[in-house]
Chain A
Amino acid sequence: MARVVKGDHQAFSQLYDQSSSLLYTLAFRILGNRDEAAELLQDIYLEVWKKVARYDVGRGTPMAWLVTLTRSRAIDRLRARASKAHTVVDSTEQPSPHLPDQSPDPFHIQADHELRNAVGKALAELPESQRQALELAYYEGLSHTEIAARLNQPVGTIKTRIKLGMNKLRTALKGCCEQGEAR
């Protein structure tokens, strides 16, 4: 990331290879539309290229920062789209199978694979109600009040579910967070 800050083209290319799959997956999950997800990703990377100096090493790993940035921009688009309220999006759209532009190096494939397994396992161990509350907040950008209204549950219950869910994930993924710090 430091090399990207200095404007290193090769480093930027590597950054794309290592992060684009995860960021695109996230953008597509939130927006439910491939073209819009690709457009968002292009905006994100260009923003990183032009304004990457805003990245603060004290605030987490570069990947965590990129994920947070992507989620934030995607949720903004989702809300803007909701306010227009006339764009029909097929959230069930499935991406057509195609090959990625360039394969990341085997070490990162292996590391990502382990991380995906760990996160998938931790999420699978959560009670359905907690996982649902977390996903509505994280992927749909709903506040706990909006989630409570949607699920017809008391606000306090939703807050508790989110807190419990996050606490369990924190405990289960403690090693992964530390590993993520090292990346």
Chain B
Amino acid sequence: MIHEEFEEAVPLYAVGGLERTDRQAFEAHLLSGCPSCHAALKEYQAVAALLPYGLAPTPPPRGLKAKIMAARSPADAETAKRPNRPSLEPGEWMNHLFPPLPSTRSFPSNTARFALAFAALLVVAGAGYVGWTLYMQMPAETGRLQQLETALQRETAKTASLQREIKDKETALTQLRHELEMRNAEIGELRDTVIRREAELDDAHAQLAQLEKGIPAFRRARVQQDEVAALLRIPTVKVVSLTGSEMAKGAGGLLLYDPDTKKAWLYAFNLPPLPGGKTYQLWAIEQKPVSAGTFAPDAGQKGRLLIKHLPDFSRINQFAVSLEPAGGRPQPTGAIYLIGHL
């Protein structure tokens, strides 16, 4: 049972309506020194003790009082019956110390009788002194006992209060521990995030490095594009169409050339991918072929070649592209893939 349940049980306990197990639990709780339940119980017990006042009064039977007064003890009864008896007169208890003498027997002399009376007086006085001392000590002992009980109750209440405080502290500690665990988990997550970000940064650096590596090639391509664009703007530029041979029927090409600057630009498409150790070579053919440069098609099977200076272009009548060993050859040695006539 929790404390609220004990508080609820107080009126039922006071009126005697609790179950045995509940009653025992409540009494154990009271023994633990709960001050609020003690206070409440005192109030409710005072109310319960008033209940008989609500009954129609029934006087006790005649003679009950005398019976009770007489029944307390034979000595008491005798005392009650003879209230005027001198208080120092020996009672029946004296018989235990001095057995009564037969009535027929008389003392040998007045001196002996006096000695016996004196001895009895001494015994009575001694017993009275001891009794008086004990009687005087009793209130002090009772007071001390009450003080001890009060101190015990106070200490019990203090212990209960300390136990409550400890419990509160333990609860707070548990909460702090829980929060700490949560913070640790958050820190772990943050650390993972940082690691991921660092990896991403490394990737970004690598990509940047790759891009930086590609910049020269990009610049070269850009230069070529600029050259081609410049070529296309020249009004006197010539265009030669190249068609695929038996080796590459779907292939074709376009060759632009400027007779004034002797620059030319080849754009080929659908050329078969190059076998290992091979390259495509462009030939300008007059009476005999003259190499104009080598190139390799890209992944899209497109080949580009800028020729900055074609030799004596006016006499060229054919262009051809052949497959040659890597690095090219002075004269064509491989099969022709593209061919175009002026």
Taking the complex as formed, is B76 at the interface, i.e. its CB lies under 8 A from any CB of chain A? yes
- In the bound complex, how far is the Cα of B47 from the Cα of A67, in angstroms? 11
- In the bound complex, how far is the Cα of B73 from the Cα of A46, in angstroms? 9
Do the beta carbons of A112 and B53 come within 8 Å of each other?
Answer: yes
Q: Which residues of B contact A34 (CB under 8 A)?
A: 61
- In the bound complex, how far is the Cα of B79 from the Cα of A68, in angstroms? 30
Partner of A25, one of B18, B45, B47, B57: B57
Partner of B72, one of A49, A68, A100, A166: A49
Taking the complex as formed, is A90 at the interface, i.e. its CB lies under 8 A from any CB of chain B? no
Do the beta carbons of B45 and A162 come within 8 Å of each other?
Answer: no
Q: 0/1 per residue, A63-81, Cβ < 8 Å to B?
A: 1110110010001000000
Main secondary structure of the interface of B (DSSP, over half): helix
Taking the complex as formed, is A82 at the interface, i.e. its CB lies under 8 A from any CB of chain B? no
Q: Which residues of B contact A98 (CB under 8 A)?
A: 59, 61-62
Question: Which of B55, B56, B57, B69 has the most chain A CB within a 10 Å cutoff?
Answer: B55
**Contacts A119-B54, A180-B50; A59 near B42 (Cβ below 8 A):** yes
| Chain A binder among B6-14, B211-219, B331-339 | B6-14
Partner of B49, one of A20, A28, A60, A123: A60
Q: Which residues of A contact B14 (CB under 8 A)?
A: 166
Do the beta carbons of A16 and B57 come within 8 Å of each other?
Answer: no
Interface residues of A in 116-136 (CB under 8 A from B): 116, 118-120, 122-123, 133-134
* Chain B residue at smallest Cβ distance from A155: B19
Do the beta carbons of B46 and A64 come within 8 Å of each other?
Answer: yes
Do the beta carbons of B65 and A170 come within 8 Å of each other?
Answer: no
Do the beta carbons of A120 and B80 come within 8 Å of each other?
Answer: no
- In the bound complex, how far is the Cα of B72 from the Cα of A99, in angstroms? 23
From residue B147, how far is it (CB to closest CB) to chain A in Å?
12
Q: Which residues of B contact A24 (CB under 8 A)?
A: 58-60, 64
* Chain B residue at smallest Cβ distance from A166: B11
From residue A15, how far is it (CB to closest CB) to chain B in Å?
11
**Contacts A21-B59, A22-B53; A137 near B15 (Cβ below 8 A):** yes
Do the beta carbons of B50 and A99 come within 8 Å of each other?
Answer: no
* Chain A residue at smallest Cβ distance from B44: A166
Taking the complex as formed, is B101 at the interface, i.e. its CB lies under 8 A from any CB of chain A? no
- In the bound complex, how far is the Cα of B14 from the Cα of A134, in angstroms? 11
Do the beta carbons of B11 and A162 come within 8 Å of each other?
Answer: yes
How many chain B residues touch the partner (CB < 8 A)?
44
Taking the complex as formed, is A153 at the interface, i.e. its CB lies under 8 A from any CB of chain B? no
Do the beta carbons of A41 and B60 come within 8 Å of each other?
Answer: yes
Do the beta carbons of B46 and A25 come within 8 Å of each other?
Answer: no
Do the beta carbons of B12 and A159 come within 8 Å of each other?
Answer: yes
Taking the complex as formed, is A11 at the interface, i.e. its CB lies under 8 A from any CB of chain B? no
Q: 0/1 per residue, B12-35, Cβ < 8 Å to A?
A: 101111111000000000000000
Q: Which residues of B contact A180 (CB under 8 A)?
A: 46, 49-50
Q: Which residues of B contact A105 (CB under 8 A)?
A: none
Taking the complex as formed, is A115 at the interface, i.e. its CB lies under 8 A from any CB of chain B? yes
- In the bound complex, how far is the Cα of B66 from the Cα of A28, in angstroms? 20
From residue B323, how far is it (CB to closest CB) to chain A in Å?
104
Do the beta carbons of A29 and B60 come within 8 Å of each other?
Answer: no
Do the beta carbons of A25 and B16 come within 8 Å of each other?
Answer: no
Do the beta carbons of B45 and A137 come within 8 Å of each other?
Answer: no
Q: 0/1 per residue, B70-85, Cβ < 8 Å to A?
A: 0110001001100100
Taking the complex as formed, is B48 at the interface, i.e. its CB lies under 8 A from any CB of chain A? yes
Q: A112-B53, A134-B51 are in contact. List 18 more A-B contacts (CB 8 A).
A: A12-B72, A13-B69, A20-B64, A21-B57, A21-B60, A24-B59, A24-B64, A25-B55, A59-B45, A101-B64, A120-B53, A137-B17, A138-B17, A166-B11, A167-B11, A170-B43, A173-B47, A180-B46
Residues in chain B within 8 A of chain A (CB atoms)? 8, 11-12, 14-20, 42-69, 71-72, 76, 79-80, 83
16 contacts between A and B (CB under 8 A): A20-B60, A22-B52, A25-B55, A41-B64, A42-B71, A67-B52, A95-B59, A119-B51, A138-B15, A138-B51, A143-B19, A144-B17, A163-B8, A166-B11, A166-B14, A176-B50
List 10 tightest A-B contacts by C-beta distance, closest first: A137-B17, A64-B49, A166-B11, A24-B60, A119-B53, A26-B52, A100-B59, A101-B65, A67-B49, A177-B46
Residues in chain A within 8 A of chain B (CB atoms)? 9, 12-13, 16-17, 20-26, 28-29, 34, 37-38, 41-42, 45-46, 49-50, 59-61, 63-65, 67-68, 71, 75, 95, 98-102, 112, 115-116, 118-120, 122-123, 133-134, 137-138, 141-145, 147, 158-159, 162-163, 166-167, 169-170, 173, 176-177, 180-181
